Amino acid sequence: MQDKYDQLVKDCLKQIPNEKYIFEITKCCNYSTLVMVNKRGSTLLDLYKEVSNWFECRTIKELYLLGPAGNHITIPVTNVVELRDYILFNPTLFVPIYPIPNWVVYRIHLDDGHSHTEESKDQI
């Protein structure tokens, strides 16, 4: 029974890069975690929803990318643009952050409106 379970889990994990986009979501305080979004049929709004659910944050100010020159590029909140199209049409913004043979992971920054600099000052 355990062997069957172990094989099912391995098979499931192997499918992740085929079925999901993997994003490393980085907050302003530099905390980051991986969030996955379905590749098929997901919109930019679905990306916002997944990040909101993962961080239990209903008030995301924005998700953004850093351009090649370090410029701040806001990801639009819309259900009109598919996530796949947004990634394909912005190849300079979506560059894998980990080398092969690792799975493709893209970095997205999250501004949830919290500033941790004041908290750090209070603890000194």
Q: Among 3.20.20.140, 3.40.50.300, 3.40.1410.10, 3.10.20.90, name the CATH number for the domain at 2-123.
A: 3.10.20.90
Phi first, then psi, for residue 106 (nearest 5°) are -110, 145
Residue pLDDT, tens place only, 56-98 = 888 899 999 999 888 999 999 999 999 999 999 999 999 999 9
pTM of this prediction?
0.86
Residue 26 near residue 107 (C-beta atoms within 8 A): yes
pLDDT of residue 119: 47
pLDDT of residue 68: 86
